[in-house]
Protein backbone atom coordinates (compact mmCIF):
# COMPACT_ATOMS: atom_id res chain seq x y z
CA UNK A 1 0.00 0.00 0.00
CA UNK A 2 1.21 3.50 -0.88
CA UNK A 3 0.80 6.30 1.66
CA UNK A 4 0.94 10.05 0.97
CA UNK A 5 2.47 12.48 3.45
CA UNK A 6 2.80 16.26 3.57
CA UNK A 7 5.93 17.22 5.48
CA UNK A 8 6.15 20.72 6.93
CA UNK A 9 9.60 22.27 6.88
CA UNK A 10 10.93 24.76 9.40
CA UNK A 11 10.09 27.66 7.09
CA UNK A 12 6.49 26.44 6.78
CA UNK A 13 6.87 25.10 3.25
CA UNK A 14 5.17 21.78 2.49
CA UNK A 15 6.96 18.82 0.91
CA UNK A 16 4.93 15.99 -0.63
CA UNK A 17 6.14 12.42 -0.22
CA UNK A 18 4.68 9.02 -1.14
CA UNK A 19 6.01 5.83 0.35
CA UNK A 20 5.39 2.09 0.40
CA UNK A 21 7.04 -0.33 2.80
CA UNK A 22 7.37 -4.08 2.92
CA UNK A 23 5.41 -5.92 5.63
CA UNK A 24 7.16 -6.91 8.83
CA UNK A 25 8.43 -5.35 12.03
CA UNK A 26 12.19 -5.46 11.36
CA UNK A 27 13.60 -2.15 10.06
CA UNK A 28 14.85 -2.48 6.50
CA UNK A 29 16.60 -0.32 3.97
CA UNK A 30 14.89 2.45 2.02
CA UNK A 31 15.24 4.19 -1.32
CA UNK A 32 14.13 7.76 -2.07
CA UNK A 33 13.32 8.59 -5.70
CA UNK A 34 13.66 12.15 -7.00
CA UNK A 35 11.95 12.83 -10.32
CA UNK A 36 13.08 14.96 -13.24
CA UNK A 37 11.27 17.59 -15.28
CA UNK A 38 7.82 16.35 -16.29
CA UNK A 39 7.00 18.25 -19.49
CA UNK A 40 4.10 20.33 -18.22
CA UNK A 41 2.39 17.65 -16.11
CA UNK A 42 4.13 18.65 -12.85
CA UNK A 43 2.70 15.64 -10.99
CA UNK A 44 5.85 15.26 -8.94
CA UNK A 45 6.27 12.12 -6.87
CA UNK A 46 2.92 10.72 -7.93
CA UNK A 47 4.59 9.71 -11.16
CA UNK A 48 6.45 6.97 -9.27
CA UNK A 49 3.12 5.77 -7.87
CA UNK A 50 1.33 5.76 -11.21
CA UNK A 51 4.10 3.99 -13.12
CA UNK A 52 4.49 1.33 -10.43
CA UNK A 53 8.07 2.21 -9.45
CA UNK A 54 7.37 2.50 -5.72
CA UNK A 55 5.70 -0.87 -5.41
CA UNK A 56 8.24 -2.47 -7.74
CA UNK A 57 11.18 -1.35 -5.61
CA UNK A 58 9.42 -2.07 -2.32
CA UNK A 59 8.19 -5.56 -3.14
CA UNK A 60 11.14 -6.56 -5.32
CA UNK A 61 13.76 -5.61 -2.73
CA UNK A 62 11.71 -5.98 0.47
CA UNK A 63 12.42 -2.38 1.48
CA UNK A 64 10.66 0.94 1.98
CA UNK A 65 10.42 2.88 -1.29
CA UNK A 66 9.58 6.57 -1.31
CA UNK A 67 9.34 9.43 -3.78
CA UNK A 68 9.46 13.16 -3.09
CA UNK A 69 7.97 16.03 -5.11
CA UNK A 70 10.39 18.84 -5.86
CA UNK A 71 9.20 22.40 -5.07
CA UNK A 72 6.77 23.50 -7.75
CA UNK A 73 5.79 19.91 -8.59
CA UNK A 74 2.94 17.86 -7.17
CA UNK A 75 1.75 19.27 -3.85
CA UNK A 76 5.17 20.54 -2.73
CA UNK A 77 5.22 24.29 -2.24
CA UNK A 78 7.03 26.21 -4.94
CA UNK A 79 8.30 27.95 -6.82
CA UNK A 80 10.72 25.64 -8.58
CA UNK A 81 14.35 26.75 -8.29
CA UNK A 82 16.03 24.44 -10.83
CA UNK A 83 17.63 22.02 -8.38
CA UNK A 84 18.74 24.79 -6.06
CA UNK A 85 18.72 25.21 -2.27
CA UNK A 86 14.92 24.92 -1.90
CA UNK A 87 14.87 21.67 -3.87
CA UNK A 88 17.84 20.32 -1.93
CA UNK A 89 16.17 21.21 1.38
CA UNK A 90 12.98 19.41 0.29
CA UNK A 91 14.96 16.26 -0.48
CA UNK A 92 16.73 16.46 2.87
CA UNK A 93 13.38 16.89 4.64
CA UNK A 94 12.16 13.72 2.93
CA UNK A 95 15.31 11.87 4.01
CA UNK A 96 14.82 13.02 7.60
CA UNK A 97 11.21 11.80 7.47
CA UNK A 98 12.32 8.38 6.25
CA UNK A 99 14.94 8.06 8.99
CA UNK A 100 12.20 8.47 11.59
CA UNK A 101 10.00 5.69 10.21
CA UNK A 102 9.89 2.44 12.25
CA UNK A 103 10.12 0.41 9.04
CA UNK A 104 13.40 2.04 7.99
CA UNK A 105 16.96 1.31 9.03
CA UNK A 106 18.39 4.88 8.96
CA UNK A 107 21.84 3.56 8.07
CA UNK A 108 20.63 1.96 4.85
CA UNK A 109 18.99 4.71 2.83
CA UNK A 110 19.74 5.13 -0.87
CA UNK A 111 19.02 8.35 -2.77
CA UNK A 112 18.12 7.94 -6.46
CA UNK A 113 17.79 11.03 -8.63
CA UNK A 114 16.93 11.27 -12.32
CA UNK A 115 17.73 14.24 -14.58
CA UNK A 116 16.87 17.34 -12.50
CA UNK A 117 16.57 14.97 -9.58
CA UNK A 118 20.15 13.81 -10.16
CA UNK A 119 21.45 17.39 -10.18
CA UNK A 120 19.79 18.11 -6.84
CA UNK A 121 20.63 14.69 -5.34
CA UNK A 122 24.30 15.13 -6.17
CA UNK A 123 24.24 18.41 -4.23
CA UNK A 124 22.46 16.69 -1.33
CA UNK A 125 25.33 14.19 -1.28
CA UNK A 126 27.64 17.09 -0.40
CA UNK A 127 25.51 17.88 2.67
CA UNK A 128 24.27 14.49 3.93
CA UNK A 129 27.22 12.21 4.73
CA UNK A 130 25.37 9.20 6.14
CA UNK A 131 23.57 7.86 3.07
CA UNK A 132 24.22 4.22 2.22
CA UNK A 133 24.61 5.00 -1.48
CA UNK A 134 23.50 7.38 -4.23
CA UNK A 135 22.27 6.66 -7.75
CA UNK A 136 22.51 9.48 -10.29
CA UNK A 137 20.83 9.02 -13.66
CA UNK A 138 21.10 11.41 -16.63
CA UNK A 139 22.23 14.39 -14.59
CA UNK A 140 24.58 17.32 -15.04
CA UNK A 141 27.14 18.18 -12.39
CA UNK A 142 28.64 21.40 -13.78
CA UNK A 143 25.58 23.52 -14.54
CA UNK A 144 27.47 26.41 -16.14
CA UNK A 145 29.08 24.06 -18.66
CA UNK A 146 25.70 22.47 -19.33
CA UNK A 147 24.05 25.88 -19.71
CA UNK A 148 26.63 26.94 -22.29
CA UNK A 149 25.85 23.93 -24.49
CA UNK A 150 22.09 23.63 -23.86
CA UNK A 151 19.08 24.40 -26.03
CA UNK A 152 17.26 27.72 -25.69
CA UNK A 153 14.45 26.04 -23.73
CA UNK A 154 16.78 24.66 -21.07
CA UNK A 155 18.66 27.97 -20.88
CA UNK A 156 15.41 29.85 -20.34
CA UNK A 157 14.37 27.44 -17.56
CA UNK A 158 17.70 27.86 -15.78
CA UNK A 159 17.60 31.63 -16.12
CA UNK A 160 14.01 32.00 -14.94
CA UNK A 161 14.26 29.56 -12.00
CA UNK A 162 17.85 30.00 -10.84
CA UNK A 163 19.34 33.09 -12.41
CA UNK A 164 22.73 33.25 -14.08
CA UNK A 165 25.01 34.40 -11.28
CA UNK A 166 28.19 32.49 -10.49
CA UNK A 167 26.68 31.74 -7.07
CA UNK A 168 23.57 30.22 -8.66
CA UNK A 169 25.62 27.91 -10.87
CA UNK A 170 27.91 26.91 -8.00
CA UNK A 171 24.95 26.01 -5.76
CA UNK A 172 23.80 23.51 -8.40
CA UNK A 173 27.12 22.04 -9.54
CA UNK A 174 28.24 19.08 -7.43
CA UNK A 175 31.45 18.70 -9.45
CA UNK A 176 32.80 21.79 -7.69
CA UNK A 177 31.94 20.33 -4.27
CA UNK A 178 33.24 16.82 -4.93
CA UNK A 179 35.63 17.02 -1.97
CA UNK A 180 32.60 17.03 0.36
CA UNK A 181 31.25 13.71 -0.93
CA UNK A 182 32.16 10.42 0.77
CA UNK A 183 29.22 8.21 -0.27
CA UNK A 184 29.40 5.53 -2.93
CA UNK A 185 27.77 6.64 -6.18
CA UNK A 186 26.37 4.67 -9.11
CA UNK A 187 26.06 6.68 -12.34
CA UNK A 188 23.62 5.75 -15.11
CA UNK A 189 23.85 7.70 -18.36
CA UNK A 190 22.92 7.47 -22.03
CA UNK A 191 25.74 7.83 -24.52
CA UNK A 192 23.47 9.82 -26.86
CA UNK A 193 21.95 12.05 -24.18
CA UNK A 194 21.23 15.39 -25.86
CA UNK A 195 20.21 17.18 -22.63
CA UNK A 196 22.92 16.04 -20.25
CA UNK A 197 26.12 15.23 -22.18
CA UNK A 198 27.72 11.98 -21.08
CA UNK A 199 30.96 13.91 -20.49
CA UNK A 200 29.26 15.40 -17.40
CA UNK A 201 28.97 11.97 -15.79
CA UNK A 202 32.40 10.89 -17.01
CA UNK A 203 34.14 13.94 -15.54
CA UNK A 204 32.30 13.78 -12.20
CA UNK A 205 32.83 10.03 -11.86
CA UNK A 206 36.55 10.38 -12.58
CA UNK A 207 36.89 13.26 -10.12
CA UNK A 208 35.25 11.23 -7.35
CA UNK A 209 37.31 8.13 -8.11
CA UNK A 210 40.52 10.17 -8.03
CA UNK A 211 39.45 11.42 -4.58
CA UNK A 212 38.96 7.85 -3.34
CA UNK A 213 35.14 7.85 -3.47
CA UNK A 214 33.68 4.61 -4.89
CA UNK A 215 32.06 5.69 -8.17
CA UNK A 216 30.86 3.43 -10.97
CA UNK A 217 29.71 4.76 -14.33
CA UNK A 218 27.41 2.71 -16.56
CA UNK A 219 26.88 4.15 -20.04
CA UNK A 220 24.02 2.79 -22.16
CA UNK A 221 23.37 3.08 -25.89
CA UNK A 222 20.40 5.42 -25.56
CA UNK A 223 19.41 9.03 -25.05
CA UNK A 224 18.34 11.01 -21.98
CA UNK A 225 15.66 8.56 -20.85
CA UNK A 226 17.22 5.18 -20.08
CA UNK A 227 14.88 2.25 -20.80
CA UNK A 228 14.34 -0.01 -17.79
CA UNK A 229 15.45 -3.04 -19.82
CA UNK A 230 18.92 -1.46 -20.00
CA UNK A 231 19.30 -0.38 -16.38
CA UNK A 232 17.29 -2.99 -14.41
CA UNK A 233 20.06 -5.56 -14.01
CA UNK A 234 22.66 -2.95 -13.06
CA UNK A 235 20.29 -1.53 -10.45
CA UNK A 236 19.35 -4.95 -9.11
CA UNK A 237 22.95 -6.02 -8.55
CA UNK A 238 23.88 -2.69 -6.97
CA UNK A 239 20.88 -2.52 -4.65
CA UNK A 240 21.13 -6.21 -3.75
CA UNK A 241 24.62 -5.54 -2.47
CA UNK A 242 23.55 -2.42 -0.54
CA UNK A 243 20.40 -3.82 1.02
CA UNK A 244 21.20 -7.56 1.09
CA UNK A 245 17.48 -8.40 1.27
CA UNK A 246 16.36 -11.88 2.20
CA UNK A 247 14.09 -12.14 -0.82
CA UNK A 248 15.03 -10.58 -4.16
CA UNK A 249 12.80 -9.96 -7.10
CA UNK A 250 12.86 -8.08 -10.36
CA UNK A 251 12.80 -4.30 -10.27
pLDDT number for residue 73 = 97
Question: pLDDT per position in the chain (251 positions), as tens?
Answer: 899 999 999 999 999 999 998 887 789 999 999 999 987 778 999 999 999 999 999 999 999 999 999 999 999 999 999 999 999 999 999 999 999 999 999 999 999 999 999 999 999 999 999 999 999 999 999 999 999 999 999 999 999 999 999 999 999 999 999 999 999 999 999 999 999 999 999 999 999 999 999 999 999 999 999 999 999 999 999 999 999 744 444 55
Looking at the domain assignment, is residue 205 inside a domain?
yes
Q: Which domain covers residue 98, as residue numbers?
A: 8-243
Q: Report the DSSP pairing between strands 104-114 and 133-137.
A: parallel
Q: How far apart are alpha carbons 183 and 214 in whole angstroms?
A: 7
The answer to whether residue 250 sits within a structural domain is: no
pLDDT at 39: 78
Instruction: Identify the CATH number of the domain in which residue 41 sits.
Output: 3.40.50.1820
Tell me: cis bond preceding 79? Omega within 30 of 0 counts. yes
pLDDT for residue 248: 45
What gap in Å lies between CA 176 and CA 170, rounded to an integer? Answer: 7
Instruction: Tell me, yes or no, whether 3 lies in a domain.
Output: no
Contacts of 56 (CB under 8 A, 6+ apart): 65, 250, 251
- For residue range 47-70, what is the model confidence (pLDDT) as tens digits? 999 999 999 999 999 999 999 999
Q: Is residue 248 part of a domain?
A: no
- Whether residue 1 is contained in a domain is answered as no
Reported pTM: 0.95
The domain tally of the chain equals: 1
Amino acid sequence: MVTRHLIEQEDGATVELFHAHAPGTTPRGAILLVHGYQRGHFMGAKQAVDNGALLRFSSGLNITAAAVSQPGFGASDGPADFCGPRTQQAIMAALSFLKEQPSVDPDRIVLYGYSRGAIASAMVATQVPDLAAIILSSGVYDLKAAYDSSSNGVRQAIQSEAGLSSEAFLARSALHHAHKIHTEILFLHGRRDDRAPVTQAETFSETLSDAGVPATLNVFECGHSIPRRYSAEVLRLFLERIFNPSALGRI
